[in-house]
Amino acid sequence: MTTTVAEPTASDSELTELAGQLTGRLLLPGADGYAALSTPWNVAVRSTPVAVVQAADASDVVAAVQYGGRHDLDVSVQCTGHGAYDYPRPTLLVHTGGSSMS
């Protein structure tokens, strides 16, 4: 069985639009903190979201979900590294752990 994964539909400039709407941080692959927030407890599962939103409050979650809808991205919300998942489509990970939301 062969799995084909589409390229991300959101460009860095479009992600900058999202970053401007957040109280928390937006982390792109290669940025400090991206690997720590996107790597699940089960490191055998490869998790490579398009970006990670480190949500500071509920408005960050709302902004991420709306952004995902506009840019054809799946949105996954996680508080901890449990629930390891290898995203089959371009996905925006919303991380709520370690913020006032936990």
What's residue 38's pLDDT? Answer: 87
What's residue 93's pLDDT? Answer: 92
- Report d(CA 32, CA 4) in Å as an integer: 28
Mean pLDDT by 10 residues, the chain (102 residues): 41 83 94 87 79 95 95 87 69 81 50
- Domains and their CATH numbers in the chain: 24-89 (3.30.43.10)
What's residue 59's pLDDT? Answer: 97
- Report d(CA 69, CA 84) in Å as an integer: 22
What's residue 15's pLDDT? Answer: 87
For 69, which DSSP code? H
What's residue 55's pLDDT? Answer: 95
Tokens representing 70? 């506009």
Sheet holding 91-95, edge to edge: 25-27, 51-54, 91-95, 74-78
